[in-house]
Structure 1
Amino acid sequence: MNRLTQFLNIQYPILQGGMGNISNAPLTAAVSEAGGLGTIGVGTMTPDEVEKIILETKALTSKQFALNIPISVTPYLKEMLMLLLKHKIQVVSLSAGNPSPYIENLHKNGVKVIAVVASVKHALKAEAAGVDILVAEGYEAAGINSPFETTTMTLIPQIVNAVDIPVVGAGGIADGRGLAAAICLGASGVQMGTRFIATKEAPFHTNYKEKILFADDTSTVIIGRSVGKIRRVLQAPYTGKLLEYEKKGMTDEEYLALTSEDLHKRGAIEGNEQEGFMNAGQIAGMVSTIPTVKELMEGMMEEARTQLQRGIGLFKL
């Protein structure tokens, strides 16, 4: 047990990243059931869509899970906060915006607040606003990312040095070695997204899972640099078209239309890499199996213990 697991009342210091519009009940419940913190990412979904997933998740697990609300992305911010309280969800992850205006009311209602940050400046602001836990996410991570492009290994220790609240490392983590590394850098745990895609419970298209399984260290690319909107995705025919469009020049509006959540679902849920895209982190090149979530998390904990014990052994006199 550490500060993170005690505070969240979970067995393992492993959080599921919010997956936006491809979030689902089976994977969220499986992560919580296995001892971590499952998360439903609301993305741009409607309140009715999100409530359906919440109810389905509650039917699959009695353990707590979180709601990830991207503040500047969802058109239903007020409604999502109301859903959180209505269904007595005890943990919220706030990203893509300033969490400050919402923390006091969330705390009054017994909700624990996680904030996703990508810089020391934002970490300090979030801590000052009353956030309980920080997720320090490097640009190795899948999907929408920070324009700072700071790597996880450099970001975690700098944020840990700057704040007093628990820090969770995210981006480029897929096994026990990554968990052990994050702990050694001062984090209290890790958040993963890409690794959970390739699990038995994850209801994503076979094409998506296979592309991750057969990925190597150069299989992901960054799109959106030309318009200041960083997103990491798997290389694929549609992704190639996007990069060509960027070379020719595009407006913010054109880019957003070409990377809409409908096109995200077309890739991840329908497996159509000709007309849609698939988010993935740089760690995809290390994923070679499709275990159950329970097998994955238990294996990670055992591997992390082994790595940490091995490290201690190197410094014994």
Structure 2
Amino acid sequence: MNQLCSVLAIQFPIIQGGMGNISNPKLAAAVSNAGGLGTIGCGTMTPEEVEERIVATKQLTQKPFALNVPINVNPYTKELLQLAITHKVPVVSLSAGNPTLFIEKLHAHNIQVIAVVASVKHAIKAEQGGADVIVAEGYEAAGINSNLELTTFTLIPQVVDAISVPVVAAGGVGDGRGLAAALMLGADGVQMGTRFIATQEMPVHTTYKQRLLDATDVETVILGRSVGQVRRVLSSAYASSLLADEAKGMTLSDYQERTSEIFHVKGAIEGNEQSGFMNSGQIAGMIQDLPTVATLLKTMMDDAQQCINRTLLNNFKGLVRGVQS
């Protein structure tokens, strides 16, 4: 059995990313019910808001799901982790901070811990701290990102070589080919965010989904380089105004205020591209349809298997014969 699936008690090695304040029980439950690991992202929400989503998710699925806690983003980290314990959430994903401070307590309550990292150094520290799974996220990913700018294709094999726990590839994955590539690089599975936005179960504004369907390969932009806190979003009037203000000189506090989850919700949920932004990874240019989550996961698994079989049976053998001759 796939090591990741065994650790997390899931059928398919596919995890849904947290997605901040636009995270939704309907999507998380759909992913879990389809065989993956759905996730409720805490973003900047209060414990009361998060608890409502946990309860709603438990009503929609009996399968394992995760709670993503962005440590340095949400001021209620300890309270949120206590919610996971109280509601017996089987998996907690820790990102945007040092996960090792909380792993022991979660393990004491039989909760599996995923640590999201963006470098080999952080992956090693997370494993040493007891993380059960490492999500290594490349710079292609949506939303808040690492300013190290390591790409998935280079990051994953280095992390795989450095640690022994299951590694999950995130950033730039949106179909079966991406899953197959991640497995070939040594990962045990993938985590996706943007691709799950473009599904029937995700209750975001139709404008957001249409933007993903219409996106080209160069549809995303990076905000925040000037202040050292980068974020990848879809190009838009709001994103352009932020970039213009960055070029003139923007303080970190101003940038943080204008990229807060308030404006994320305005763009993603309200569809207002003049007053808010829509997170998106670079895989936006690959998205061509709005399937159900179940169809997406099944198609990905089937396509990944076909890619691997075709490569091993045809391309690779042909290359080997060419070398031998």
TM-score grouping bracket, smaller chain normalisation: over 0.9
**8 Å contact from structure 2 (residues 136, 155) kept in 1:** yes
How many Å separate the matches in 2 of 1:234 and 1:56? Answer: 30
Residue aligned with 2:147, SS:
coil
How many Å separate the matches in 1 of 2:130 and 2:55? Answer: 29
Q: Which residue of 1 aligns with 2:82?
A: 82
Shift in Å, 1:100:
1.0
**8 Å contact from structure 2 (residues 7, 132) kept in 1:** no
Question: Structure 1, residues 142-187: CA drift from partner, whole Å, max 9, x if none?
Answer: 0000000000000000000111111000000000000000000000
How many Å separate the matches in 2 of 1:106 and 1:60? Answer: 24
Shift in Å, 1:86:
0.6
* Greater displacement, 166-175 / 100-109: 100-109
Shift in Å, 1:90:
1.0
How many Å separate the matches in 2 of 1:30 and 1:90? Answer: 17
Q: Does the alignment pair 1:43 with 2:43?
A: yes
How many Å separate the matches in 2 of 1:286 and 1:31? Answer: 20
How many Å separate the matches in 2 of 1:77 and 1:60? Answer: 25
Question: Structure 1, residues 292-316: CA drift from partner, whole Å, max 9, x if none?
Answer: 0000000000000000001111333
Question: Structure 1, residues 91-142: CA drift from partner, whole Å, max 9, x if none?
Answer: 0000000011111111111010100000000011101111110000001000
TM-score (norm 1): 0.99
Q: Which residue of 2 aligns with 1:166?
A: 166
Matches within 5 A, 1:85-104: 85-104=85-104
- Aligned partner of 2:216: which letter? D
- Aligned partner of 2:153: which letter? M
Cα RMSD, aligned residues only? 0.7
How many Å separate the matches in 1 of 2:4 and 2:261? Answer: 32
Question: Structure 1, residues 26-82: CA drift from partner, whole Å, max 9, x if none?
Answer: 000000000000000101101111111111111111111000000111111111011
Residue aligned with 2:134, SS:
strand
Question: Structure 1, residues 257-302: CA drift from partner, whole Å, max 9, x if none?
Answer: 1111100000000000000000000000000100000000000000
Question: Structure 1, residues 163-219: CA drift from partner, whole Å, max 9, x if none?
Answer: 111100000000000000000000000000000000000000000000010000000
Q: Does the alignment pair 1:186 with 2:160?
A: no
How many Å separate the matches in 1 of 2:144 and 2:19? Answer: 10
Residue aligned with 2:169, SS:
strand
Q: Does the alignment pair 1:267 with 2:270?
A: no
Give identity over the alignment, percent: 63
Q: Which residue of 1 aligns with 2:12?
A: 12
Which consecutive unaligned segments of at least 5 residues does structure 2 have?
none
How many Å separate the matches in 2 of 1:230 and 1:243? Answer: 12
Q: Which residue of 1 aligns with 2:236?
A: 236
**8 Å contact from structure 2 (residues 67, 84) kept in 1:** yes
How many Å separate the matches in 2 of 1:197 and 1:170? Answer: 15
Residue aligned with 1:74, SS:
coil
How many Å separate the matches in 1 of 2:267 and 2:101? Answer: 35
* Greater displacement, 63-72 / 307-316: 307-316
**8 Å contact from structure 2 (residues 142, 281) kept in 1:** yes
Shift in Å, 1:7:
1.1
How many Å separate the matches in 2 of 1:280 and 1:113? Answer: 25
Q: Would you identify which runs of 4 or more consecutive aligned residues in structure 1 move more than 4 Å?
A: none
**8 Å contact from structure 2 (residues 68, 92) kept in 1:** yes
**8 Å contact from structure 2 (residues 168, 191) kept in 1:** yes
**8 Å contact from structure 2 (residues 18, 193) kept in 1:** yes
Aligned residues: 317
Q: Which residue of 1 aligns with 2:316?
A: 315
Q: Which residue of 2 aligns with 1:255?
A: 255
How many Å separate the matches in 2 of 1:3 and 1:21? Answer: 30
Which consecutive unaligned segments of at least 5 residues does structure 1 have?
none
- Aligned partner of 2:224: which letter? G
Q: Which residue of 2 aligns with 1:145?
A: 145
**8 Å contact from structure 2 (residues 220, 280) kept in 1:** yes
Q: Which residue of 2 aligns with 1:109?
A: 109
Residue aligned with 1:315, SS:
helix
